[in-house]
Amino acid sequence: MRKISDTIARLSALRTQHSAHAADHGGRDRLQALTDFGSNPGALKGRVHLPPDLPKNAPLVVVLHGCTQNAAGYAHHSGWSQLADEAGFALLFPEQQRANNPNLCFNWFEPADTRRDMGEALSIRQMIEAMVLTHGLDRKRIFITGLSAGGAKAAAMLASYPEVFAGGAIIAGLPYGSATTIPQAFDRMRGHGGPSEKELQRILRGASNHPGPWPRISIWQGTADQTVAPSNADAVAAQWLGVHGLDRKIATRSEADGRLAKRVWRNVTGEAVVEVNIIAGMGHGAPVGDGLGAAGPFMLDAGISSTREIARFWGIDTTRAKDAARSKPKRLAHEGTPSGSPSPAMEKVAAKRPAHPDDDLSKPPPESGGIQTVIEDALRAAGLMR
């Protein structure tokens, strides 16, 4: 058990980290407001980006920002708007309001905001329906992604409305139903406790009466993330592999390329349905690079564009297929062998590197403010307290 001083130190560092970025959204606002989309029980805003000459029956991507971020900043830094213009799909950015959460975190663990037809979850579902009806979008190609609290909220949407989504992507997020209270949420972020693998799968199946098929899931995580423990990536994968009927210990394909270690699970038809992408040495945030998006708060220049790679996984970005075919082939680590025993190449790529100074959670708490103030402020910054 950790000492209370250690917990306070981590809370204080988390508060400092979020405070440093709280006002820095950055980027040009290219988004339009979405209005009149329903009863909006979660009191969220809706923002939209539609490329010029959007084709009929285009895909829709729903993008959920992280704490302290807003829709415009996330659209700019992640590169989703740029890619939508290139590939021809619509974007929906649900946006949190400070009245709901002081640090603009989606309320990812609150049952009243994550369950089907309730709160924020229903607001996002209403936005999706409005987008499909207004712009004639393809109901069979609706996808959702998010970072951190937004990633955990994306997991909740995928669980609560699996029939709506063809695929999802969870970046530095947590499994659906892994926490329902503030203490549980903070423990899960640190990788402590939580439901078993079988229980997580049971929770997912119980979130709706959907019999399948199930969305395809892409998972992204940095090894140096000290805000959301990397073990959460495995927990998310285990939750979804269960409904897909696949064994977590046996990946169809595992490979290493630079800082990126990837595991892929395919179904009986050969379709990749779950993938886990681990980036060595990366802290808390979404990886950007490859000429798409721009680095910023919690948007980390890793030389890899998670946005482009996620869109490729979903099958909605073929703009650079020829370039990809000409690129250097990836070094295959192993194929068809238990992923629980990675090869030396995988271990080398996934080895933890020193974290960025901003990710150092071992710093002592400030002298002023008192223990209670430190704890409460940090919980608010993490989206665990209103």
The tens digit of pLDDT for each residue in 371-380 reads 455 455 555 5
Phi, psi of 254 (to 5 degrees): -135, 135
Is 339 an active-site residue?
Answer: no
**344: cis peptide before it, omega within 30°?**
no
pLDDT band at residue 30 under the 50/70/90 scheme:
confident
Least confident segment among 78-92, 107-121, 239-253, 370-384:
370-384
Q: What's the angle, vertex CA 132, arms to CA 175 and CA 90, rounded to 5?
A: 75
284 against 356, higher pLDDT: 284
Residues in the chain: 386
What is the reported pLDDT for 384? 58
Q: Is the per-residue pLDDT at 54 higher than 70?
A: yes
pTM reported for the whole predicted model: 0.81
What is the reported pLDDT for 28? 74
What is the reported pLDDT for 381? 53
Non-local CB neighbours of 184 within 8 Å, separated by 6+ positions:
109, 178, 193, 194
pLDDT above 90 covers a percentage of the chain that reads 74
Mean pLDDT across the stretch 223-237?
Answer: 97
Q: Is the per-residue pLDDT at 324 higher than 60?
A: no
**Is residue 330 within 8 Å of residue 257, measured between CB atoms?**
yes
Non-local CB neighbours of 366 within 8 Å, separated by 6+ positions:
12, 374
Domains and CATH numbers, the chain: 4-381 (3.40.50.1820)
Q: What's the angle, vertex CA 236, arms to CA 235 and CA 238, rounded to 5?
A: 65
Candidates 81, 148, 254, 339; catalytic one? 148
- DSSP assignments along 30-41, one per residue: --EEE---S--T
